[in-house]
Structure 1
Amino acid sequence: MQSLAEFHFLRAGYLLFLIPITILWWRLRPRKSAAQKLPDGIAPHLSAALLLGADDRRRVYPIDLAMLAALLITLAVSGPTWSRATNPLIADTAPLVIALKVTDSMEQTDLTPTRLERAKYKITDMITARSGAQTALIAYAGSAHQVAPLTEDPNILRPLLEGLVPAVMPQQGDVASIALDLALNILESNETPGSVLFVLDDLEPSQAQGFDSQGFDVFFLTMLPDGARIVQLDNLSNATVVPFTPDDQDINRLNRRIQSAYADALDDDDRLDWTDQGWLLAWPAAFLCLLWFRKGWVIRWAVLACILAIPSGPAQAAGWRDWFLTPDQQGQVAMNQKRYGDAADLYQEPYHRGYAMLKAGRYPEAAEVFAQIDTAEAAFAEGLARIRNREYRPAIAAFETALDRRPGWPEAEHNLEVARAILEFVETTREQSDTGEEAGIGADDTVFDNEDSKGAQTTIQAPKDGAEGLSADQWISAIDTDMQDFLRNRFLLDNQALNQ
């Protein structure tokens, strides 16, 4: 029904050709004459044989096939469409901000082991089901905090999600409306329309007004046993509520609803072109045109031409596609089927080839391709590839180049800030570890325990042969940080910044 509502013609002026086609069809189609009548006195069984064309009982004439083909061709040229075309600059899956309620009520054990733990499992399943899509995470209780920005990497979200417990929240309470404002701010920084999902077990009545005033569709996953309802959500006109289920039905239902809302939003996105679906009518029109040939030498020469058109040499399983689709079109088919590696090998257009390599995880190759394109979008994509390949300094340079080419680009500014923060974190951690403070090895010479001249002399010799410096990945992996302490301190700093 949604596709039917969006149906229209890209080149509606060509529909005027339907008028002469209809007139020609009406004028040229044979008609049986009702005026033919023999004189009286002829036997009825002989009269039918004497009438011209009396035995012609055909209902379909060649002119019918010709005019039907002309009708289909006219409709195809008019450009029927009902959906937007994909764009590599815009994600093919809706960005999603997940707001998780982290309160004492979520520690109840009516959902084993607790509501909060089951909520974490559901969020993990949601992230897995949305592989390759951008997801952000918010935690809220008496205050709301951004845990992770929009990211396609589930490895960033999972450890942060595990550290969320009520003890890390600075204040107890329920500020769901503030969490919604924070989620909308995250989505506003992204050019692609997205959705907000709340995972909760209750909603304060005073907070419900904040949802109605936004005029924005919000999704809710209620963490209550036996599909129990939250009365406050029933009164929200813009809420899609999905109750908890022990299996994946709730996650599948949410994904369908979120993707449907995303498709509706893209239909209103003027940055996307409409997909010309006229080619669907070209195939039946071509089949009807084949029926025009008489049985004889014409069809035999057509078969011979098809045989000669077959390329010589070794047969290839997918060689037939080259007869109908260009390499870029074949690459787009592979992208639509999420065969990113095949798409990267098929694409010839540089930006699309680099984007497919980025989606396939071939980050060094993607970065090299984007570096050869002189556009702000290419520099931005190069920065993404560099930062995922742990090349933080080149990533910073790429984002700076993107800002030079398009000043004030919010996404590039945000990613530049993130890349600089990661680089500073890595270098600070390496400097601390170089002193041995984090590793616990101390000095590499001699250590005395003899404050009162009573201690025994102890010598610790650090190994020097074959010692090699650790990479940035190894330094990060060696950090043993309590995630709950990290989140608690971060949320406290957030509150202090708000109160200043």
Structure 2
Amino acid sequence: MTGLVDFLSDFHFIRPVWLVAVPLVLLLWWRIRSRATARPAPPRGVAPHLAAALTVGEAGRRRLLPIDGVMAAVVFASLGAAGPAWTRVPSPFVSQTAPLAIALEVSESMMATDIQPTRLDRAKHKILDLVATRAGARTALIAYAGSAHSVAPLTEDPEVLKPFLEALSPEVMPSDGANATAALELARGALAGQEFQGAILFVLDGLDAVDLPAFDANAAEDGPVVVYLKVGGSSDLRVPSGSTVVEVTADGSDVAEIERRVASAWREALARDDRQQWADRGWIFAIPAALLALIWFRRGWTMRWSVAVAVLLVFAGDGARAEGLTDWFGGTVAGWFLTPDQQGQIAYNNNRFAEAADLFTDPTWQSYALYRAGKYPEAAETASRLDTADAAITEGMARLRNREYRAGVAAFEKALERDPDNATAAHNLEVAQQIVTYIERVQEQSDTGEEAGIGADEVRFDNESGRGTETRITGDEATKEMQTVDEWMRSVDTNASVFLRTRFALEAARPTP
């Protein structure tokens, strides 16, 4: 139902002037058909009943005529030329899914076992499943009980969220309770300043009445869409009217429903962005027009004047895309009609980035797809061979993701050399320089470098920046503190829990401004 509402609200014609042809065509059809089906005057001197018996072909006058198929084809072609549209053309620089802030209730009630193994454990599993389905989308994590705390800011890497999510428990929270109002405020802050308005997901087992006014105010201010995933608790969850409540299920239907709601929020935000072009769907009407035109090969069903009109209208919508063919045919058949780059664009638009990277022959789009697929070294290598500012930006972003910070700075500098007025390159360069400065400051304070080779006879930490002092560790010292994999994993889990408990306690003790 949500998809239908989105469709109806955004549907329009890009070139509505072509719709003028529709009533003209219908008028012409009525005039021609009325003449073709008009009864001839009865012959003089013949009785009416005898004239009717002697008239040949009278019963066939009400059957389909050539003008019927011709005019139907021309009407469909006119609608296609008008450019029906209801979605925007995706941008390679914009995530294809709305940013999402997840607020997880971490209270004592979430430890109930009415949902196995516990409500909290099931909630964590559902969050991980949801993040896995949002390829390349940004997700933030917030935990709340008696107070609310930001666990992780918006990130495209699910591996960043996983260790902190697993470390969450009522023991790390400063106080028990369920302060959803504070969590809502943090979630709105996490989404503030985003290019497109995101959505908020509350994973909880209940909502106190005292929190309802905050959610009502968010809806009244046209704030981010709020979706609720109910994990156990009472049968009824009190939420603002019109809100979406999804019950946790044993299968993935609940995650799919949440993703549909979040995707709907993204489409609504994208539809309001005038910087992106509308996706021309005129090909939808071109298909029935072409099928109707097939009957023109039959003798007696061709009207020569209409052929030129139909062809003109079919090709009038120069912005129509062939990508819709894949909705009707499989990939093999689509290959007969579409170039590899067109097939790659379709895969890219559907978030199949790895497949798109294999299909693209255009190196620019191939580098975009490799970056979105998480193949950062390959994306940087492909983009580095191109001589455009956009390619240098892609290279820089891939370098940063691959933790090649100084190489990322160099790539953004290269982009500015090619296009001094490129605001994206300037912003990214500033951010990359701040990252390098931060790393060097930490290096100076810890008196270590960024990389260490464990197991060598002598390990020298990187000190390329010249800050801090050179540090050497002999092979025996380097291997003395090595841990097994199980020991290392246990230490990571313990450290994450201790880290969160300490940080949350400090934040809770901080005076309220």
Is TM (by shorter chain) over 0.5? yes
User: Contact conserved, 1:335 with 1:356, CA < 8 A, in 2?
Assistant: yes
Q: 1:47 to 1:36 in 2, by over 3 A?
A: closer
2:397 alignment partner, one of 384, 390, 401: 384
Alpha-carbon distance between aligned partners in 2 of 1:336 and 1:246, rounded to the nearest angstrom: 30
SS class of match (1:145): strand
* 1:334 aligns to 2:347 (yes or no): yes
Amino acid at match of 2:226: V
Aligned to 1:248: 252
Amino acid at match of 2:400: I
Which has the greater radius of gyration?
A: 1
User: Contact conserved, 1:91 with 1:192, CA < 8 A, in 2?
Assistant: no
Q: TM-score of the superposition, structure 1-length normalised?
A: 0.75
SS class of match (1:189): coil
Q: CA deviation at 1:49?
A: 6.1
Q: CA deviation at 1:482?
A: 1.3
Once the two structures are superposed, the pairs formed by residues 79-478 of structure 1 within 5 Å of their partners are 79-215=83-219, 216=223, 217-225=225-233, 228-230=235-237, 233-234=238-239, 236-237=240-241, 239-294=243-298, 321=334, 324-371=337-384, 372=386, 374-375=388-389, 378=391, 380-398=393-411, 405-406=422-423, 431=448, 463=475
Q: CA deviation at 1:354?
A: 1.6
Q: CA deviation at 1:318?
A: 7.4
Amino acid at match of 1:228: S
Q: CA deviation at 1:10?
A: 0.8
CA RMSD of superposed structures (Å)? 4.1
Structure richer in helix, relative to its length: 2
SS class of match (1:224): coil
User: Contact conserved, 1:96 with 1:135, CA < 8 A, in 2?
Assistant: yes
User: Contact conserved, 2:97 with 2:262, CA < 8 A, in 1?
Assistant: no
Q: 1:151 to 1:435 in 2, by over 3 A?
A: closer
Q: CA deviation at 1:195?
A: 0.8
Alignment length (residue pairs): 446
SS class of match (1:193): coil
Alpha-carbon distance between aligned partners in 2 of 1:496 and 1:398, rounded to the nearest angstrom: 43
Q: CA deviation at 1:380?
A: 4.9
Aligned to 1:490: 503
Q: CA deviation at 1:84?
A: 2.4
Alpha-carbon distance between aligned partners in 2 of 1:55 and 1:203, rounded to the nearest angstrom: 72
Q: CA deviation at 1:77?
A: 1.0
Could you report, residue by residue, the CA deviation over 1:295-337 in whole angstroms, capped at 9, with x for unpaired residues? Answer: 59x9xxxxxxxxxxxxxxxxxx978656633443221122245
SS class of match (1:36): coil
SS class of match (1:213): helix
Q: CA deviation at 1:79?
A: 0.9
Q: CA deviation at 1:400?
A: 7.0
Aligned to 2:79: 75
Q: TM-score of the superposition, structure 2-length normalised?
A: 0.73
SS class of match (1:138): strand
Q: CA deviation at 1:191?
A: 1.2
Q: CA deviation at 1:493?
A: 4.6
Alpha-carbon distance between aligned partners in 1 of 2:38 and 2:22, rounded to the nearest angstrom: 25
Amino acid at match of 1:352: W
Q: CA deviation at 1:159?
A: 0.6
Structure of higher RCO (CA pairs closer than 8 Å, 6+ residues apart):
2
2:65 alignment partner, one of 61, 81, 92: 61
Amino acid at match of 2:101: V
SS class of match (1:149): strand
2:38 alignment partner, one of 28, 32, 35: 32
Q: CA deviation at 1:81?
A: 1.7
Q: CA deviation at 1:60?
A: 1.6
User: Contact conserved, 2:37 with 2:62, CA < 8 A, in 1?
Assistant: no
Alpha-carbon distance between aligned partners in 2 of 1:112 and 1:320, rounded to the nearest angstrom: 46
Q: CA deviation at 1:340?
A: 2.5
Structure 1, 201-210 or 146-155: larger mean CA deviation? 201-210
SS class of match (1:358): helix
User: Contact conserved, 1:38 with 1:47, CA < 8 A, in 2?
Assistant: no
Q: CA deviation at 1:38?
A: 5.3
Give aligned-pair identity as a percent. Answer: 43
Q: 1:50 to 1:246 in 2, by over 3 A?
A: closer
Q: CA deviation at 1:16?
A: 1.7
Amino acid at match of 2:155: T
Q: Could you list the runs of 5+ residues in structure 1 that have no partner in the other structure? A: 299-316, 442-460, 471-475
Alpha-carbon distance between aligned partners in 1 of 2:25 and 2:346, rounded to the nearest angstrom: 35
User: Contact conserved, 1:189 with 1:411, CA < 8 A, in 2?
Assistant: no
Q: CA deviation at 1:28?
A: 2.6
Q: CA deviation at 1:25?
A: 2.0
User: Contact conserved, 1:14 with 1:77, CA < 8 A, in 2?
Assistant: yes
Could you report, residue by residue, the CA deviation over 1:363-403 in whole angstroms, capped at 9, with x for unpaired residues? Answer: 2231234443644x655543432233232332355567779
SS class of match (2:58): coil
Q: 1:429 to 1:99 in 2, by over 3 A?
A: farther
User: Contact conserved, 1:341 with 1:360, CA < 8 A, in 2?
Assistant: yes
Q: CA deviation at 1:357?
A: 1.2
User: Contact conserved, 2:37 with 2:61, CA < 8 A, in 1?
Assistant: no
Q: Could you list the runs of 5+ residues in structure 2 that have no partner in the other structure? A: 303-329, 458-472, 483-487
Q: CA deviation at 1:417?
A: 5.2
Q: 1:488 to 1:432 in 2, by over 3 A?
A: farther
User: Contact conserved, 2:412 with 2:426, CA < 8 A, in 1?
Assistant: no
Q: 1:55 to 1:360 in 2, by over 3 A?
A: same
Alpha-carbon distance between aligned partners in 1 of 2:441 and 2:107, rounded to the nearest angstrom: 33
Amino acid at match of 1:157: L
Amino acid at match of 2:96: D
Alpha-carbon distance between aligned partners in 1 of 2:450 and 2:263, rounded to the nearest angstrom: 45
Q: CA deviation at 1:428?
A: 7.2
Amino acid at match of 2:235: A
Amino acid at match of 1:33: R
Alpha-carbon distance between aligned partners in 1 of 2:195 and 2:59, rounded to the nearest angstrom: 69
Alpha-carbon distance between aligned partners in 1 of 2:68 and 2:129, rounded to the nearest angstrom: 56
Alpha-carbon distance between aligned partners in 1 of 2:211 and 2:167, rounded to the nearest angstrom: 26
Alpha-carbon distance between aligned partners in 1 of 2:331 and 2:259, rounded to the nearest angstrom: 33
Alpha-carbon distance between aligned partners in 1 of 2:511 and 2:382, rounded to the nearest angstrom: 43
Q: CA deviation at 1:280?
A: 1.5
Aligned to 2:306: none
User: Contact conserved, 1:126 with 1:251, CA < 8 A, in 2?
Assistant: yes
SS class of match (1:5): helix
